[in-house]
Amino acid sequence: MTHQTIDGTKTKTSPADTHQAKLRLFKVASVEKISPPDGGEGQDWYRYVLDSGRSMISGQRRGSRKDVQAYAAQCAEQLNTRGQTGQSIWSPRGRKPAAATNR
């Protein structure tokens, strides 16, 4: 694929460049104090929202506002890394073991 620049010259774009242009990074949109969820123990529960402009992810976590903010930022960073590399830190992809054959 080629891309025409402002001065009229054409440059080649790679699939990685196209992927980066479409990628929308997650960021922490909000962290707000909530009442404990059913079965939740203790005080200081917060709801956090991660937003990429295309989708939103929300979660609940117990702790100080600062700790929950840091946790949400870490989640956003991990999701962004996964989106950029196509790899998951939670479920590493690799060779699957060969299926056993019965003889």
Question: Residue ranges of the domains in the chain?
Answer: 25-85
Please tell me the predicted confidence (pLDDT) of residue 17.
46
Name residue 79's beta-bridge partners. none
Q: Tell me: pLDDT of 98 over 60.
A: yes
Please tell me the predicted confidence (pLDDT) of residue 23.
73
3-state helix vs strand vs coil in the chain, percent to 5: 30, 25, 45
Cα distances from 13 to residues 1, 16, 55, 88, 92, in angstroms, run 6, 8, 27, 26, 29
- For 47-94, the pLDDT digits (tens) are 999 999 999 999 999 999 999 999 999 999 999 988 887 665 555 555
Please tell me the predicted confidence (pLDDT) of residue 41.
87
Confidence of residue 10 (pLDDT cuts 50, 70, 90): low
Separation of alpha carbons 75 and 25, rounded Å: 12
103 versus 23: which is more confidently predicted? Answer: 23
Separation of alpha carbons 17 and 21, rounded Å: 6
Helices and strands (DSSP H and E) totals, the chain: 2, 5
Most distant CA pair in the chain, distance? 68
91 versus 19: which is more confidently predicted? Answer: 91
